[in-house]
């Protein structure tokens, strides 16, 4: 299949393909245009002649396959068929039976949906559901569009119907349509239809494929709302109701409105507001955010105004604030550049009036709904309003609690917004802005190092915690495809690209093979320029490219975040994602996904590894040497934290309260203690 993909790439020009949809102009070694993945006025989207693209505004990147998938809402198999047809490339026959089970389940749930829909439209049993929909203002056309249905108040009606269509009990259970209970004591085994006497909302994925159902109970049945269970088709945490019909409008308007209920979505689309989706009765999750992130960075949460709705809003905001972030550089007062994670999205909260649900507002006055969307508050103001309700701000202790609740929210903002809301916070909690800045700076310093890998005092990074998932010790060759990290050299070369008979470079201290510091070899390379005074970044990069199995280790993932060189850090993050996806590191496959800057860097690192011969290290030597590099990264970051704290202390003139000064001094001494402990534990680690 990889040969087919490569042939398609060779036959199709990405520049021509994109240029048919996006106006492009020649600019240096690439073609420049407005990004199709986000709204912009200044072009930042580049398409390169070697068939890859990169947007320097939103970060979208990839090849012709990823471009087709994202712009046409297709999965890889669908994009492969489309592009193969364009390139006149024959695809190999798929193995018979690979998709038989999925295909059978999809046919089954479609048959169930049609059965439920027919009952709603024309059965006597469905009269109550029809009356309910009419009372809620749902038209006949909308019932058809969303294929709404009714599950009869019987224990086995669906089972009998589908059995007549040739489906087995096991298949119905696998699709989540039957509940089975084993025999227990004197009670016999039982099974029954999952949905009974409920209005049914078929749930589809973004490509329109039916995956499950949501059911609203009539009468006093509990729970009021019931979803399909997790199945091979249905994934509640990764599904947004209505996304199949909303994704085009979301992309067109560059905005998504998230509501709580199925009926809210149905009525919103009926009223022409087709950028509305629902989170299946739960707070937004990471995988739901990811689906929206591919379409827009502008989110509006319009959840119910009751306590449960507010709690769901808070949980959804926490996920969004954590997931929709990017690193931006900031200069400290001494001129040093640090990177802070700030929100890379516009998130707003729509306040519903008079305890009404969205569908009620829409049916009463659709124009009022549009005004509410247009005037939705920034999420920060939602948190300010919430703090005012939760805390008696006349009480000094309550003001401190409100301060501690709001500062982490402000930490997610960029510098300009942060300063604006700091002044507002100072007014609310009656504290000096400079004192709040001190606390916020401490939060930001902690945030930059929150994922720093920790070791128990006196224990090496190479200790027993470094194990494979099955509990075995990891070896130097544990996941290499040809004895090396990257598949870049001929078979005649050894593990690091040495020609047969070449001698490795050996460190005389303990027999460990050493990778020379990058600065020594790079001076003649004429390529990417690392910090010559501190080769820690390049050492980590070269080591992980030679030993990619370590990319799967959590401590290494945390260490990558501490890399100072931005290109080096980005390359290692992409390499880590590549390894996680494919279980190996393939140089050509990785190079095909990189922009020119990162491609040059990867080629430089590969060349450096080849030009400085080494042999494969033993397990102990590998872990010890890599541990030493991570130790240097941690020491470097810890020294920076200390310097940041020292700057705060030096800048602690007028306006600082005694409480703030005490906080700074306590933090400063704690950092110094950690530095001393880390230095002592590092003395027992082998050098790289």
Q: Which of 202, 234, 205 is nearest to 115 (CA)?
A: 202
pLDDT computed for residue 262 by the predictor: 96
Q: Which of 474, 490, 627 is nearest to 549 (CA)?
A: 474
Residue 424 or 676, more confident: 424
- Within 8 A by CB and 6+ apart from 569, the residues are 537, 560, 561, 563
pLDDT computed for residue 157 by the predictor: 97
Residues 354-376 pLDDT 10s: 778 999 999 999 999 999 999 99
Does residue 296 carry a pLDDT above 70?
A: yes
Note the CATH number of domain 279-375.
3.40.1360.10
Please measure the distance between the N-terminal and C-terminal CA atoms of the chain and give it in whole angstroms: 40
Note the CATH number of domain 100-181+188-234.
3.90.980.10
Does residue 172 carry a pLDDT above 80?
A: yes
Domains of the chain by residue range: 2-87, 100-181+188-234, 279-375
Residue with tokens 């990147």: 61
- Number of CB atoms found within 10 A of residue 80's CB: 20
Which of the 8 DSSP states describes residue 513?
B
Task: With H, G, I as helix, E, B as strand and everything else as coil, classify residue 55.
Answer: strand
CA distance 599 to 659: 50
Q: Give all strands (DSSP E) within 44-101, no chain letters.
A: 45-48, 52-55, 61-62
Q: Which residues of 102-134 are buried (b: 16+ CB within 10 A; e: fewer)?
A: eeebbebbebbbebbbebbbeeeebeebbeebe
Q: What is the mean pLDDT of residues 30-54?
A: 87
Residue 365 or 683, more confident: 365
pLDDT computed for residue 659 by the predictor: 60
Does residue 457 carry a pLDDT above 60?
A: no
- Poorest-confidence range of 174-188, 218-232, 568-582, 645-659? 645-659
Residues 606-620 pLDDT 10s: 877 765 544 345 666
pLDDT computed for residue 602 by the predictor: 87
Mean pLDDT of the chain: 78
Q: What is the mean pLDDT of residues 478-484?
A: 36
Q: Which of 50, 18, 49, 23 is nearest to 34 (CA)?
A: 23
- Poorest-confidence range of 53-57, 580-584, 654-658? 654-658
Omega before 223 within 30 of 0, i.e. cis: yes
Residues 53, 43: contact at Cβ < 8 Å? no
Residue 161 or 83, more confident: 161
pLDDT computed for residue 525 by the predictor: 39
Residue 422 or 671, more confident: 422
- The percent of residues in the chain predicted with pLDDT above 90, rounded, is 34
Residues 186-210 pLDDT 10s: 888 899 999 999 999 999 998 899 9
Task: With H, G, I as helix, E, B as strand and everything else as coil, classify residue 379.
Answer: helix
Does residue 334 carry a pLDDT above 80?
A: no
CA 444 to chain centre: 21
Which of the 8 DSSP states describes residue 564?
-
Does residue 408 carry a pLDDT above 70?
A: yes
Does residue 520 carry a pLDDT above 60?
A: no
* CATH 3.40.50.300 applies to domain 2-87: no
Q: What is the mean pLDDT of residues 222-246?
A: 91
Residue 28 or 306, more confident: 28
Residue 319 or 347, more confident: 347
At 251, list the tokens.
């992309």
**What H or E segment, with its residue span, contains residue 347?**
strand 346-349
Q: Which of 519, 575, 557, 563 is nearest to 537 (CA)?
A: 563
- Poorest-confidence range of 71-85, 137-151, 295-309, 491-505? 491-505
Q: What is the mean pLDDT of residues 256-284?
A: 93
Does residue 140 carry a pLDDT above 50?
A: yes
pLDDT computed for residue 463 by the predictor: 31
Residues 376, 349: contact at Cβ < 8 Å? yes
Distances (CA, A) of 358 to 261, 281, 355, 399, 612: 9, 14, 10, 34, 65
Which of the 8 DSSP states describes residue 36?
T
pLDDT computed for residue 243 by the predictor: 96
321 backbone dihedrals φ, ψ, rounded to 5°: -65, -30
pLDDT computed for residue 268 by the predictor: 98
In a 13 Å sphere around the CA of 184, the CA atoms on its Cβ side amount to 4
Three-state SS annotation for 645-687: HHHHHHCCCCCCCHHHHHHHHHHHHHHHHHHHHHHHHHCCCCC
Residues 370-396 pLDDT 10s: 999 999 999 999 999 999 999 999 999
Task: With H, G, I as helix, E, B as strand and everything else as coil, classify residue 551.
Answer: helix
CA distance 70 to 37: 8
**What H or E segment, with its residue span, contains residue 340?**
strand 337-343
At 653, list the tokens.
């003139």
- Poorest-confidence range of 138-152, 326-340, 565-579? 326-340
- Number of CB atoms found within 10 A of residue 333's CB: 10
Does residue 451 carry a pLDDT above 60?
A: no
Distances (CA, A) of 115 to 120, 123, 503, 656: 9, 11, 74, 70
pLDDT computed for residue 544 by the predictor: 87
- The percent of residues in the chain predicted with pLDDT above 70, rounded, is 74
pLDDT computed for residue 534 by the predictor: 57
- Rounded (10°) CA dihedral 411, 677, 626, 468: -80
* Confidence label for 683 from pLDDT (cuts 50, 70 and 90): very low
pLDDT computed for residue 631 by the predictor: 80
Residues 6, 39: contact at Cβ < 8 Å? no
Long-range contacts of 410-419 (CB under 8 A, 24+ apart): 410/380, 410/440, 411/440, 411/443, 411/444, 411/447, 412/321, 412/325, 412/341, 412/342, 412/343, 413/342, 413/343, 413/380, 414/328, 414/342, 414/343, 415/330, 417/380
Task: With H, G, I as helix, E, B as strand and everything else as coil, classify residue 526.
Answer: coil
At 532, list the tokens.
């010559």
**What H or E segment, with its residue span, contains residue 210?**
strand 210-217
């Amino acid at each position: 299949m990889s040969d087919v993909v490569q042939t398609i790439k060779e036959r199709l020009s990405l520049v021509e393909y994109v240029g048919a949809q996006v106006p492009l102009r020649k600019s240096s070694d690439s073609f420049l245009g407005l990004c199709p993945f986000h709204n912009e006025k200044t072009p930042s989207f580049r398409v390169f002649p070697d068939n890859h693209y990169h947007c320097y505004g939103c970060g979208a990147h990839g090849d012709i396959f990823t471009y087709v998938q994202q712009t046409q809402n297709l999965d890889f198999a669908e994009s492969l068929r489309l592009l193969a047809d364009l390139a006149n490339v024959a695809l190999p026959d798929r193995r018979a039976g690979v998709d038989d089970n999925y295909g059978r389940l999809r046919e089954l749930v479609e048959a169930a949906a049609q059965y439920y829909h027919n009952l709603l439209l024309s059965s006597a049993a469905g009269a109550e559901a029809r009356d309910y929909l009419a009372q809620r203002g749902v038209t006949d056309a909308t019932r058809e569009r969303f294929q709404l249905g009714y599950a009869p108040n019987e224990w086995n009606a669906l089972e009998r119907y589908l059995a007549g269509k040739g489906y087995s009990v096991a298949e119905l259970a696998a699709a989540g349509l039957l509940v089975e209970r084993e025999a227990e004591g004197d009670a016999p085994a039982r099974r029954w239809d999952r949905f009974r006497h409920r209005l049914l909302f078929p749930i589809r994925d973004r490509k329109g494929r039916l995956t499950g159902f949501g059911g609203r109970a009539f009468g006093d049945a509990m729970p009021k709302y019931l979803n399909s269970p997790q199945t091979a088709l249905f994934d509640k945490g990764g599904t947004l109701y209505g996304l199949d019909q909303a994704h085009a409008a979301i992309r067109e308007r560059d905005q998504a409105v998230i509501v709580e209920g199925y009926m809210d979505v149905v009525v919103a689309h009926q009223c022409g507001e087709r950028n509305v989706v629902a989170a299946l009765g739960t707070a937004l999750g990471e995988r739901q955010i990811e689906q929206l992130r591919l379409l827009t960075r502008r989110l509006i949460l319009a959840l119910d105004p009751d306590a449960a709705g507010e709690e769901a809003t808070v949980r959804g905001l926490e996920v969004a604030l954590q997931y929709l972030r990017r690193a931006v550089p900031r200069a400290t007062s001494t001129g040093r550049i640090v990177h802070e994670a700030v929100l890379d999205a516009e998130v707003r909260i729509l306040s519903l009036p008079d305890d009404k649900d969205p569908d009620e507002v829409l049916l009463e006055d659709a124009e009022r709904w549009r005004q509410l969307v247009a005037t939705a508050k920034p999420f920060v103001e939602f948190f300010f309003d919430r703090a005012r309700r939760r805390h008696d701000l006349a009480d000094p202790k309550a003001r401190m609690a409100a301060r501690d609740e709001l500062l982490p929210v402000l930490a997610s903002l960029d510098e300009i917004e942060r300063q604006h809301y700091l002044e507002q916070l100072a007014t609310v909690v009656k504290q000096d802005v400079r004192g709040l800045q001190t606390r916020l700076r401490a939060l930001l310093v902690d945030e930059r190092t929150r994922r720093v890998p920790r070791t128990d005092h006196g224990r090496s990074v190479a200790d027993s915690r470094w194990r494979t998932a099955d509990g075995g010790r990891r070896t130097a060759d544990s996941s290499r495809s040809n004895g090396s990290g990257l598949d870049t050299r001929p078979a005649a070369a050894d593990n690091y690209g040495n020609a047969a008979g070449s001698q490795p470079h050996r460190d005389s201290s303990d027999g460990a093979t050493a990778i020379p510091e990058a600065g020594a070899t790079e001076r003649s390379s004429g390529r990417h320029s690392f910090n010559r005074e501190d080769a820690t970044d390049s050492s980590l990069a070269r080591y992980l490219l030679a030993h990619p199995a370590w990319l799967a280790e959590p401590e290494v993932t945390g260490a990558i975040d501490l890399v100072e060189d931005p290109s080096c850090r980005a390359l290692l993050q992409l390499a880590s994602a590549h390894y996680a996806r494919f279980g190996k590191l393939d140089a050509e496959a990785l190079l095909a996904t990189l922009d020119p800057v990162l491609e040059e860097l990867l080629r430089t690192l590969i060349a450096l590894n080849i030009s400085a011969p080494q042999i494969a290290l033993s397990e102990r030597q590998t872990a010890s040497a890599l541990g030493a590099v991570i130790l240097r990264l941690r020491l470097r970051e810890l020294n920076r934290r200390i310097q940041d704290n020292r700057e705060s202390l030096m800048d602690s003139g007028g306006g600082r309260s005694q409480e703030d000064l005490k906080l700074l001094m306590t933090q400063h001494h704690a950092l110094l203690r950690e530095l001393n402990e880390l230095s002592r534990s590092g003395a027992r680690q082998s050098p790289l």
